Copies of this chain bind each other. A is one copy, B any other.
Amino acid sequence: MPDEFAFLDALRAIATHPAAAGLADDTAALDVAAGRLILTSDTMVAGVHYRPGDPADAIGWKLAAVNLSDLAAKGATPIGCLLNYALSGDAAWDRAFLDGLNDVLTRYAMPLLGGDTVAMPQGAPRSLTLTAIGRAQPSVPLRTGARPGDTLWVTGSIGGAGFGPDGEPRDLARYLRPRPRIAEGQALAPLATAMMDISDGLLIDTRRLAEASGVAIAIDLGAVPLALPGLDPLEAATAGDDYELLFTLPADAIPPVPASRIGAASAGTGLTLTSGGKPLPLPDKLGYSHGG
């Protein structure tokens, strides 16, 4: 209980937006203009979505970043979030978590408005949820919008957050503190026919986009921008936690932000790979698949 009171005090220090009303109520009261809201919520479970030994501040960052990345993929502007926190029984861990959360919320201007704090039974893995609300532009690119003839693009680079042969992330900073592509998403939303973020791996997420849109997609593995020199393209394309944007454009369109053209959509179904113009078999494992 003392832990809980200290935690709630620390939460109040972060939740300074008027809609949070000092967290004195069970609810937040958010004034909105008429329009379209984008709602998203992600849960991270210790041992499933992160390694129990990962630093607490990185978990705080990541929990909000993965939701921000979902907003980014719809071109939305963050307007607020709710945190459902499971007390760890370790006040220093809780405190570090909030520090990392505060960092990412400040950087991306997403105020904390409310939520819930619960105790877990002794020894239970923590389950942490954040729900984010964003304001949409008139055009919201869905997963379902890719059409035959569209080109396929990706922002930034791929594979950096994946695990190397030593079992550690290749680029630790990128694994611990992914940078959601909010500005890029906002610039791309009016043009993209379909858009989503890459959370589980380029190949598995591209296949999801192809299935949702009812098109076939071919990826040129040689065109995939690698996060690190010497990285195997197939390993990069099946690693998770990139949080880059994957999107399709009409054939003649050029993206307004730095991005790499990695493939194209056509009539049909399924994902195919080429490298140097030659067909390549799909690997057995296209990426992570840990629910939701």
**How many residues on A have C-beta within 8 angstroms of the other chain's C-beta atoms?**
65
Contacting residue for A119 out of B39, B197, B291, CB 8 A: B291
Beta-carbon contact of B118 and A290 below 8 Å: yes
With A28-B38, A114-B41 known as contacts, the answer to whether A48 contacts B292 (CB < 8 A) is no
With A48-B121, A129-B129 known as contacts, the answer to whether A29 contacts B24 (CB < 8 A) is no
Beta-carbon contact of B144 and A40 below 8 Å: no
Q: What chain B residues lie within 8 Å of A74 (beta carbons)?
A: 25, 27, 29
| A86 CB–B CB distance under 8 Å | yes
| A9 CB–B CB distance under 8 Å | no
Beta-carbon contact of B37 and A87 below 8 Å: no
Which residues of A line the B interface, CB within 8 A? 1, 4, 19, 21, 24-43, 45, 47-49, 70-71, 73-74, 76, 80, 82, 84, 86-87, 113-121, 124-125, 127, 129, 131, 133, 136, 140, 142-144, 196-197, 212, 289-292
- 18 additional contacts, CB 8 Å, given A27-B38, A27-B71? A1-B289, A19-B39, A24-B212, A25-B143, A26-B73, A27-B73, A27-B76, A31-B35, A31-B36, A32-B34, A32-B36, A39-B114, A40-B114, A41-B116, A43-B129, A45-B124, A86-B127, A127-B127
CA distance A24 to B211 in the complex (A): 10
Q: What chain B residues lie within 8 Å of A125 (beta carbons)?
A: 120-121, 124
